[in-house]
Chains A and B, each alone.
Chain A
Amino acid sequence: MAAQAGVGVASLVSRNEKTILPEWVELQKKAGILHTGRISEGELQSQSRNFLHLLHEALTQGGTDTSGAAYEPARAMLADLSRTRALQGFSPSETATFIFSLKQPLFNALNRDGTLSAEQIASTVSTSTALLDELGLFTLEIFQKSREEIIVRQQREIAELSTPVVKLWEGILALPLIGTLDSQRTQVVMENLLQTIVDDEAEIAIIDITGVPTVDTLTAQHLLKTVAAARLMGADCMISGIRPQIAQTMVHLGVELNVISKASLADAFAVALRQTGRAVVKTRRIEGFALPGKKSGGQDA
């Protein structure tokens, strides 16, 4: 039964391919797919032609069972198309229109076809509607999945990108934290900092939280653990960039950071230089004249 219905649709497609294809492409163009500028007319033509061809093959061989093996090539092509469109930034409806806009040309062809009885027309309409709906949903599912993959990848990128450890001077590291300190990112932060302390043989690490919008007890706990781990490795830690509102909030929360903390990274850096026996000295801008033995910047004392 299913195979018979499939053959009905298949023969309809093969008999009317010449009219279905241009009508279908025209409908997609009317839906504004070309205005997005993400796809050329040529591409649209070839995608539509390919799919119609694959659909015809599948219908002839496998009837209307879209999960069957005969539909494998058609599904693969749709999956590829959805994935590409998700990456290119198409909206879900722009992507699903590819399939759903095929209905109208198919029904038009059915109307023009004089050889079918009313009963046959009705059954072909219901079969092809169910078929295209299934394929349309499949497209959307793949589209959604691709978008989720993109989000997961971006999350991972953000987690790694936003935690660089910066070397300020010989033995002095800075870790400018930005954004939310949820536990997964804190793990990356900890590992980065501890590894860099080893690699650079750092004595002092400054954790700057200017870019952290909220410091709650969990964030504070993560910070303190990071500080404790750095201490165990022989590096002193400082926390800088505590804004007034954060300071007040932390006092109310009752959180005590038992580390040297400074309002700005510059202040913390100055302390770090002092602790490592260095100083920043101002020079006068007179040519041929400099304070004895010093240049600007923190030269070793």
Chain B
Amino acid sequence: MPTTKTDRVAIKISDDVVRVRQLTRALSVEVGLSLVDQTKIVTASSELARNTLDYGGGGEVTAEIVEQGGRRGVRLTFEDKGPGIADIEQALKDGFTSGKGMGLGLGGAKRLCNEFSIDSRPGEGTKVTIARWK
């Protein structure tokens, strides 16, 4: 899958979540996503960036414009070296949270995107990849 543009943003403080949203919005506009799709992936990026910050203890997002079979899309990869998630199925369940949030972020982000994959090992960190296609 060819990548035409790559950006990286570190997620260390809560202002970085705003920067992730702005970057995601800029890329979605560049790809030509509809307003609804833009809002969806921006919201998903906001959820995941905040998870990276709050539960992963900070990390990094890689934002890319990708192309496949003539279709363009935005792909975001969130990585942290935090405690990891022991039970991914439970984490994806609506209403479950190990913190103080609503417990909808991770599952919500999955529903807001075309592609979603999560890779996490306790003690090693978490990697979440999402994509939204035009």
Contacts and interface: CB of A to CB of B under 8 A. Distances in A.
A214 B49 CA distance: 14
Contacts of B21: 213-214
B46 A214 contact: yes
Given A180-B18, A216-B50, 18 more contacts: A182-B18, A214-B42, A214-B43, A216-B43, A217-B104, A217-B105, A244-B36, A245-B35, A249-B43, A253-B104, A253-B108, A253-B112, A254-B104, A254-B108, A254-B111, A255-B102, A255-B104, A255-B108
Top 10 A-B residue pairs of the complex, sorted by shortest distance between their CB atoms: A253-B108, A245-B39, A216-B46, A245-B36, A252-B111, A217-B102, A254-B104, A217-B104, A249-B43, A252-B112
Interface string A201-218: 000000000000111111
A81 interface: no
B39 A217 contact: no
Chain A interface size band reads 20 to 34
Nearest to A244: B36
Contacts of B108: 217, 252-255
Contacts of A246: 39
Interface string A27-69: 0000000000000000000000000000000000000000000
A248 B46 contact: no
B121 interface: no
Interface in B103-127: 104-105, 107-108, 111-112
30 contacts: A180-B18, A182-B15, A183-B14, A214-B39, A214-B42, A215-B43, A216-B43, A216-B47, A217-B47, A217-B104, A217-B105, A217-B108, A218-B46, A220-B102, A221-B101, A245-B36, A245-B38, A245-B40, A248-B39, A249-B40, A249-B112, A252-B108, A252-B111, A252-B112, A253-B104, A253-B112, A254-B104, A255-B102, A255-B104, A255-B108
A221 B102 contact: yes
Interface string A176-216: 00001011000000000000000000000000000001111
Contacts of A216: 43, 46-47, 50, 105
Contacts of B101: 217-218, 221
A210 to B, nearest CB: 14
Contacts of A213: 21, 25, 42
B7 interface: no
Interface residues of B, number: 24
Interface in B1-48: 14-15, 18, 21, 25, 35-36, 38-40, 42-43, 46-47
Interface in A223-268: 244-246, 248-249, 252-255
For the residues of B in contact with A, the DSSP-based class is: helix
A248 B112 CA distance: 9
Of listed A215, A218, A246, A253, residue having the most chain B CB within 10 A: A253
A220 B25 CA distance: 20
Interface string B63-95: 000000000000000000000000000000010
B107 A254 contact: yes
A182 B16 CA distance: 11
Contacts of B107: 254
Nearest to A184: B14
A215 B50 CA distance: 13
B18 A254 contact: no
B29 to A, nearest CB: 13
Contact of B14 (A182, A217, A249): A182
B84 to A, nearest CB: 21
Contacts of A180: 18
Nearest to A246: B39
A213 B22 CA distance: 10
Contacts of A244: 36
Contacts of B105: 216-217, 253
Contacts of B38: 245
A22 to B, nearest CB: 47
A254 B101 CA distance: 13
A152 to B, nearest CB: 12
